[in-house]
Chain A
Amino acid sequence: MTISHEQAEWFRSTFDQLTDNMEKAVLGKRHVVRLALTCLLSEGHVLIEDFPGTGKTMLARALANTVQGSHARIQFTPDLLPSDVTGVTVYDQHKGTFEFHPGPIFHTIVLADEINRASPKTQSALLEVMEEGRVTVDGVAHPVGKPFLVIATQNPIEQAGTYRLPEAQLDRFLMKTSVGYPDRQATVELLNNAAVRDRAGLVTPVITAATIAQMSGLADQVYVDPAVIGYVAELAEESRRQPHVKLGLSPRGCLALVRVAKTWACADGRDHVVPDDIKDLAEPVLSHRLLLDAEAQFSGVDVQTVISRLLDSVAPPTDRVGA
């Protein structure tokens, strides 16, 4: 069963509304906004890495505000403990029992600000909830509900006082993207409205959590031709053969790429994925999943270069399978 044209068109229309809504806060970054929304509708989590002051938190807050639901912000610091995120079990003297007090992770959208400033121990506290949508405390599992989205921001690892996220943690994020500096026009507009201190406050909820869940369901029904699937598989295989790549694309990464491509295609009003979707999303989906070796840095090769070579070395399909 695949999505119909009408459903795809509705999806596109709604997606555009969400984008327009978020653009009230995030000026001139429509592509990044679309990527973040795609991540939300794909039931994934997004990692935004950029230099301070580029609007990472603004993007995360705008995304949280656009969805009618609860959201929380966790400012990650070196002394943040895992229980500060997940919650703790406290002994109730009146009842004589231990009761679980949910942490800030139990919200629809969680903004994990500067996640790489926390210690690895605290970062790892997010592993279970990001992958399985539940928190286990004292042997008791506590579901966080749906939809659930973690929007994490981080400073580049070269910045002082940061801890590199472990590979397992990175793999939990569906996408990693950066906001980047605004262009001149956006900057001028931003300065003209400098009186507005909280631009994220301009973003009002325009979609319910139920609708988010409905859109996610529709995206899952988008058709992916075997030729396109083969293309993704070939990309994964080729990523492991690329020079300077220590860790290539995992099966989870492949699944993530296909999942995101479905939503991306649906956001374009299509009921099918085309190779262009894969190419468009390759960098945000793969950039945090490829681990380069030590020689890469000395050779001046970064992960973007590797991905570019990867896309240049694997030809996308031009025809359907069996044609």
Chain B
Amino acid sequence: MKRAAHASATGTRTRVRSHALLPDRHSWIDIGFTLALAGIALSAFGTSFTGSTYLVVGLLGALIAVVVTHLTRAAGWPIISAVVICVVVFFVLGGPLCLRSLGDTSVLPGASTLARVADQAVFGWKDLLTTLPPIDGDGPLLVLPWLAGLLAGLVGMGLAHLPVRRPWLAAVLPVLGMTAVLSGAIVLGVRHPQSLLLQGSVFAALALAWLAIRAHRASAAVHGGTTSYVRGAGAVVMLALAAGVAFPASALVGNDDDERAVARNWVEPPFDIGRYPSPLAGFRTYVDLKGTTNSTNVYDKTLLDVEGVDTGTRIRFATMDRYDGMVWGASDNALPGPADDSFQRVSSTIDNPVEGDEVDVTVTLGEGWKGVWLPTVGALQSMAFETGDPRAKAEVFRYNLATSTAVVPSGMAPGDRYSFTAVQPDDALTAETVGSAETTALPPGASFIQGPTEKWTEQAGTDPMDRVLAAAEHLRSQGKYSDGIGRTERIYVAGHSVWRLSDEFVNAPQIVGNDEQYAATMALIANDIGVPARVVLGAVVPEGGRVTGKDVSAWVELRAADGSWRTLPTESFMSMTPPADQVPETNTPMSGTVIPPPNPIPPPSDAGEQSDADLKERKATRKKSDEQEDGLIPGLPAWIGVVLTYVGGPLLLVALLLGAVVGLKAWRRHRRRSADSPSARFVGAWRELVDHARDLGQVVPLGPTVTRREQSLGIVSGQAGPLARRADSFVFGPHVPEKAAATSYWELVDAERRAMSGEVGRWQRLRAAISLRSLGVRPRRTSAAPDGAPREAAADTGRTRGLKSRLRTLADWRSRRAPD
């Protein structure tokens, strides 16, 4: 310290005391506040993850970042070095810490682990936002709190030690940075905050306390360390007031979950349930063929073995809540407003707040089951796949909270077994049930239903639910049941398109169909009346729990005024009476009329159960549109989206890093240009020229013992020598330089930099702009080695000696001189 003081007194800067690696008192305070605020910010992930592993991993990341930032600062390295080290740490420890569930636990990560960590860091955010919380606490998405922790530590400590000239800015910057981290964590969280008290009052109190301490520190530096008790008392009062106000304010603002702004509200899941065919359209695979054979028919085949539920329990295959004129199909976002009505990724536990009896169910898929739909009961609370690569199934498993429909896009196969816990809500439709008052728009093309509805319900009064039940009763009493099997019934074709439901069902002389037509029509009628309705394909669990094709049926669910969905059983709107033989076996064509042959039962399509001609046509149309719209950017082909996703992301990352380099240099230039003292501006301008030359690839001698004149000899520039001389004349001259002179000097340096850039090619200019050479570590000033060994700072000694000889042999120094 004595030597440092001496150097300060003489201004020679010949000694730099060795930095202590241990933090001083101020650093300890900054570290403590950074970790505390990072912990609170990370707690915002509490509602997104199960357990507390996310917090441990995040805090570990914050701790590492804080230590790295402190050590690099103590070593005098630039902040970019801390960033680089943290990036390396992120990748090296990311696998063992965050990908243990995938088996990536080795200390030295392989290429696949690094790629997975990078993939989670880049794309995991969307997975997080599109996965129904809570997410498994030990899953690969732990990469996100790990990254957030590192980021929080870097931001907190990096900004805390950022050299800023204005004291108030130095005090505020780290607090603002940590507030931004908290805001980011909240935005990435869920609508239900973890703790208003923690994220509001405690964070505000800590942030203000840190702000007060840093402001006091800055003030002490300015005022020579003096302060007053009044000022300290004022700070305490301000803290108390802020904390007192923060809690009620945070409790009021955003108290309504719907108003809480989180990114989850706007991010749409990258999953299109509409690509899967409607299971209702393939209903005839479940019907009795009455002696004929068809390999796809599963009437007698076992679909499921269900354990854990009572006989008569309705097991849901799929809920279809949108009619497009062709089929009833499952969809995302069918409900108005923000609601969990999309197919989201879920973890093993599901936050599904439904009241009712809880059941533990185990399902084993039988030989007749295939497809992506996953039979479930009630509202799921947890899910565990037991066979058939359960981890892969769990990764892709999606669930729609609003429709209680589960899907495994990779498909389920006979023999697959899974268990789940579910709550069975009260879904019985009673005489007291009041229909929802929500207005429902009639699906496109379904206006044909309005006439029959009016006609069948004109005696039922005005109550919507009464009208629905009246229409159901009309269908049940007037309709007939036929699966279209047999020579006399082939005219009752499959499907529930507008044509089938209008001309061939409600407007036909005789209403004839099976579950498919009845349920589809009933749901349309209810929607027309004003009671939101949807179609459910499922089965009623028989005695013994073995569900076969004959147990499958389709029913309708009506939405009640309380928001719940009530079951309108199949038997309440569907007749089981077969049609009479009023339809002749052989039609005698009338003169001039050609009656087309009845549609045969079509073979199953490759896509699944849906098999009618309309669906094929629809699929063909959709396939074409999918190619165009499945990409990230609507209107562009999907492959462009894929390319943009996997190439654009890394490119964007690289662009950000390069932009950061350019930004750092601009920031460094600004600091040098706006230094406090004019002479420091001269020094900064010269360093800017040296750094520019180094970025251009020139070998400019560096080191603590190299003077500006010696450096100028290494710069390929006609004006480097005069500029060095000019800087020396102002810095060491008898008169204190004016700021205007510094500004003028900067203009000269800028002009010379442009001239140097102009002498090289465009590519080299670009390389110079993003070069890290000038951002590297500068050799430190060191003292003499006591043992006479070569000095640390003598890395450039040889070069310096060479310069001495050059100094004597080169043209006379004075010839390079420019008038001052």
Contact = CB atoms under 8 A, between A and B. Distances in A.
A273 B791 contact: no
Residues of B in contact with A, size category: 35 or more
Nearest to A230: B10
B707 interface: yes
Interface string A306-323: 001111111111111111
Contacts of A317: 11-14, 732
Contact of A274 (B728, B782, B801): B728
A270 interface: yes
Contact of B784 (A274, A301, A309, A322): A309
Interface in A218-265: 223, 225-231, 233-234, 238, 241-244
Interface in B145-191: none
Contacts of A315: 12-14, 704-705, 781, 793
B397 to A, nearest CB: 65
Interface string B674-714: 00010110010000000000000000000011011110000
Contacts, number: 141
A312 B791 contact: yes
Contact of A314 (B705, B734, B787, B813): B705
A31 B10 CA distance: 30
B9 interface: yes
Interface string A104-126: 00000000000000000000000
B455 interface: no
B733 A272 contact: yes
B7 interface: yes
B820 interface: yes
A271 B788 CA distance: 37
Contacts of A323: 11, 677, 679-680, 683, 731
B477 interface: no
A230 B732 contact: no
Interface string B729-763: 10111101000000000000000000000000000
Given A274-B728, A313-B783, A315-B705, A12 B683 contact: no
B813 A268 contact: yes
B732 A272 contact: yes
B405 interface: no
Contacts of A275: 707, 732
A313 B793 contact: yes
B786 interface: yes
Nearest to B780: A315
B732 A238 contact: no
Nearest to B795: A312
A89 interface: no
Contact of A276 (B707, B733, B736, B812): B707
B14 A322 contact: no
B223 interface: no
A5 interface: yes
Given A276-B710, A311-B705, A323-B679, A223 B10 contact: no
Interface string B1-29: 00000010111111100000000000000
Contact of A268 (B704, B731, B807, B817): B817
A31 B707 contact: no
B816 to A, nearest CB: 11
Interface in B756-790: 781-788
B83 to A, nearest CB: 27
A245 B7 CA distance: 23
Nearest to B682: A319
Contacts of A208: none
Nearest to A1: B734
Given A316-B705, A318-B13, A273 B783 contact: no
A279 interface: yes
Interface in A281-323: 301, 308-323
A257 B189 CA distance: 70
A73 B471 CA distance: 138
B677 A273 contact: no
Contact of B10 (A269, A311, A321): A321
A214 interface: no
Nearest to A227: B11
A274 B732 CA distance: 6
A223 B734 contact: yes
Contacts of B548: none
Contacts of B705: 311-316
A2 interface: yes
B16 to A, nearest CB: 9
B785 A226 contact: no
Contacts of A319: 11, 13, 677, 679-680, 683, 731
B624 interface: no
B9 to A, nearest CB: 7
B621 to A, nearest CB: 74
A286 to B, nearest CB: 14
B808 interface: yes
A301 B791 CA distance: 16
Given A31-B808, A315-B705, A320-B732, A231 B10 contact: yes
B784 A238 contact: yes
A321 B11 contact: yes
Interface in A183-209: none
A8 B736 CA distance: 19
A13 to B, nearest CB: 11
Contacts of A231: 10, 12, 14
A299 B654 CA distance: 54
Interface of A: 2, 5, 12, 30-31, 223, 225-231, 233-234, 238, 241-244, 268-276, 279-280, 301, 308-323
7 contacts: A226-B11, A238-B783, A308-B801, A311-B705, A315-B12, A317-B11, A320-B736
